[in-house]
Structure 1
């Protein structure tokens, strides 16, 4: 077996199917997207080469930068929400009563499609008969807002179901990492007189910091390319107040039939995501990882 696996040709043969799959599904579409961004094209007819005109127009497009800012806000809120998910995971991992049931409840949003979640929260945010406004009126607020129709608050209203949708995913990751910590380490800390807060902050958190860094990258990248729930709930409205980069790209390419400009926006979205990912990795990088 060692002789076989030391043969470079055999190793290349093993990884070739995976490389072909990655090339066909990822790299070739990315290259084509960048290429289409150099064209004036409606997606069906003849393509006309216009060079970097689409990219220059995108960099001068106020709507594009507004959508980029909204995506960055979502990334920021997603990253901050990781603190809440981590706290919940620490509580669930501390052997409280009902922890098993709570883990299952938190996973429910992951099992629902984004369209179903969007329809659910549209009903919650309904200004006339929605559950949220009924609660607000019951506590004395006479004129609650139309959550999905007011430009100043629609973006933050949409962030709530997005963060709720992925809560179970991150809680599950943190919970698995916490349960992987040897119980002997926790027991030794208890014998030394450490409080639950000290155990969580000074022992558990440093031991899972590698996982925390990974979830930060996942949260940022996922937020920058987020599309489906926002498109179903508001379509980027009202008047672009909830537009993100992915939804703006979709509108240009498939609603306005400006496939070349939409492709340029999509390729810029890729470059921005890569740049921010590198920055996040640099910021969260440490020289040493704690081993146990």
Structure 2
């Protein structure tokens, strides 16, 4: 068996199917998207090569930069929400009553489709029959806001269901990382007189840092290309107040039938995601990683 696996031709044969799959569904579409961005094309008729005009127009497009700012805000809120998820995971990782039940409850949003979640929160935010405005009226608020119709509120109203949707995912990752830490370290710290906060800060957090770095990248990059709930709940409205880069790309390509410009937006979004990923990895890089057995 070792002789077979050391044969370069056999290794290449095993790698080839996966390589072809990755080329077909990842790299070739990226190359085609970049190429389509160099053309004027409505998606059906012939393409007209226009060089970098789409990309130059993109840099001057105020609507795009507004949508990029909205995506950046979502990315910031997503990164900050990881602190809450980590705290919840630390609580669940302790021997508290009902931890298993709560862990299952937090996973429920992951089991629901984006359409179901959007419909749920549309009813929660309903201006007259929604639970939020009904509660505000019960407290004496005579004119509660229309959460998804107010340009100043809609973006932050959308952030809540988006962050709620992925809470269970990150809590589960953190929970697994924390449960993988040897209990002997915590017991030794308790013997030395450390309290729960000191154990969490000095032991659990450093040992889970590599996992935290990965989740920061996942949360930020995922937010930059987020589309689902925003498209279903507001479609980028009102008047572009909740437009993000992915929804703007969709509108330009499939509503305005400008696939060349939409492809330019998509490729630019890819570049931004790669740059942000590189920056996060640089900022969170450490020379030494903590090892334990």
TM-score by length of 1: 0.99
Mapped partners of 1:69, 1:55: distance in 2: 18
Partner residue, 2:50: 50
- Give the Å deviation of 1:166: 0.1
- Give the Å deviation of 1:150: 0.4
For the pair 1:157 / 2:140, whether they are aligned, the reply is: no
Mapped partners of 2:135, 2:18: distance in 1: 52
For the pair 1:174 / 2:174, whether they are aligned, the reply is: yes
Equivalent position SS for 1:119? helix
Matches within 5 A, 1:73-88: 73-88=73-88
Between Structure 1 and Structure 2, how many residues are aligned? 292
Partner residue, 1:284: 284
Partner residue, 1:223: 223
Partner residue, 1:187: 187
Q: Deviations over 1:59-85 (max 9, x none)?
A: 100000000010010000000000000
Partner residue, 2:62: 62
For the pair 1:109 / 2:105, whether they are aligned, the reply is: no
Mapped partners of 1:50, 1:106: distance in 2: 50
For the pair 1:118 / 2:118, whether they are aligned, the reply is: yes
Equivalent position SS for 2:107? helix
For the pair 1:214 / 2:214, whether they are aligned, the reply is: yes
After superposition, the CA RMSD in angstroms is 0.7
Q: Deviations over 1:105-155 (max 9, x none)?
A: 000000000011011000000111100111111122221110000000100
TM-score by length of 2: 0.99
Mapped partners of 1:211, 1:149: distance in 2: 38
Mapped partners of 2:184, 2:13: distance in 1: 44
Partner residue, 1:147: 147
Mapped partners of 1:290, 1:7: distance in 2: 36
Equivalent position SS for 1:145? coil
Equivalent position SS for 1:166? helix
Q: Deviations over 1:221-252 (max 9, x none)?
A: 10000001100000000000000000000000
Question: Once structures 1 and 2 are overlaid, which stretch shifts more, 226-235 or 2-11?
Answer: 2-11
